[in-house]
């Protein structure tokens, strides 16, 4: 009796095979070392939970939202909370100008070369946020960008430099234009420049 041979029929077709091949390539881990904003944003986009919000909270709710954001960021080392509306976020620790105690907030930032630019919007509130007053009194601050922690020096931007970066910020996050419309104060932009590693 002749032996039967089974014949495997490919029912997937070349397009599906090509798609599966691309998927396997996309799953390969990235290689290379070093740190820069682009790598940090790409890593955060793949691994972290990103919040998307086009709602401006009332002033009384902002401190509660900020505290919750800080707790989630710390507990998960930025896996939750390191991106909001597609923008990268950091933890900024200042020293209270009156209390002398550490004060930590979570802020989105705009990459500026090797530095970061944060915005003192406070949701378009009437007054500048407490962290901004703190760093005016003591510009030496601590920044946490996911696993990376370092000392930085804070500098309030002014003139053409501020205007240029403000337009860039609005282009990437139009809600900041609404924040400015809500208040008579000029919303401050602050550059955070790397100073030294944090070893505490």
Residue 15 within any structural domain of the chain: no
Under DSSP, is residue 16 helix (H, G, I), strand (E, B) or coil?
Answer: helix
pLDDT, tens digit (0-9, with 9 covering 90-100), for 65-91: 778 889 999 999 889 888 887 889 999
Read off the pLDDT of each residue in 155-178 and give the average, rounded to a whole number.
92
| Residue at 12 is within a domain | no
- Per-residue pLDDT for 108 more than 80? yes
- Token pair for 183: 């208040």
Q: Which domain holds residue 124?
A: 37-51+58-197
What are the two backbone dihedrals, phi and then psi, of residue 109, each rounded to the nearest 5 degrees? Answer: -140, 160
Question: Does residue 32 sit within a domain?
Answer: no
Q: Which of 119, 64, 56 is nearest to 89 (CA)?
A: 119
Whether residue 29 lies inside any domain: the answer is: no
Domain count of the fold of the chain = 1
CATH number where 77 lies? 2.30.110.10
Q: Note whether residue 11 is domain-resident.
A: no
Compute φ and ψ for 189, nearest 5 degrees.
Answer: -110, 135
Q: Which pLDDT band holds residue 36 (cuts at 50, 70, 90)?
A: low
Please compute the mean of the pLDDT values over residues 57-72 and round it to a whole number.
Answer: 78
Predicted confidence (pLDDT) per residue in 123-156, tens digit: 888 999 999 999 999 999 999 999 999 999 999 9
Predicted local confidence at residue 119, as pLDDT: 96
Q: Tell me how far apart the alpha carbons of residues 175 and 185 are, in angstroms, rounded to a whole number.
A: 16
- Average pLDDT score over the chain: 79
pLDDT on residue 187: 96
Count the Cβ atoms, other than its own, within 10 Å of residue 131: 23
Q: How many residues comprise the chain?
A: 200
Query: What is the model's pLDDT at position 172?
Result: 82
């Amino acid at each position: 009796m002749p032996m039967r041979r089974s014949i495997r029929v490919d029912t997937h077709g070349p397009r599906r095979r090509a798609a599966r091949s691309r998927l396997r390539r996309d799953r390969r881990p990235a290689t290379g070392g070093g740190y820069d904003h682009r790598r940090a944003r790409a890593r955060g986009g793949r691994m972290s939970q990103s919040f998307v919000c086009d709602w401006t909270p009332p002033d009384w709710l902002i401190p509660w939202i900020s505290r919750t954001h800080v707790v989630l960021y710390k507990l998960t080392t930025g896996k939750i909370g390191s991106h909001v509306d597609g923008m990268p976020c950091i933890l900024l620790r200042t020293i209270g100008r009156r209390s002398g105690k550490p004060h930590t907030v979570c802020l989105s930032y705009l990459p500026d070369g090797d530095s970061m630019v944060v915005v003192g919007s406070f949701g378009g509130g009437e007054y500048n946020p407490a962290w901004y007053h703190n760093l005016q009194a003591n510009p030496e601050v601590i920044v946490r960008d996911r696993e990376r922690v370092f000392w930085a020096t804070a500098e309030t931007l002014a003139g053409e430099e501020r205007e240029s970066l403000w337009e860039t910020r609005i282009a990437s996050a139009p809600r900041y234009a609404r924040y400015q419309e809500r208040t008579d104060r000029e919303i401050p932009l602050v550059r955070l420049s790397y100073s030294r590693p944090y070893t505490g």
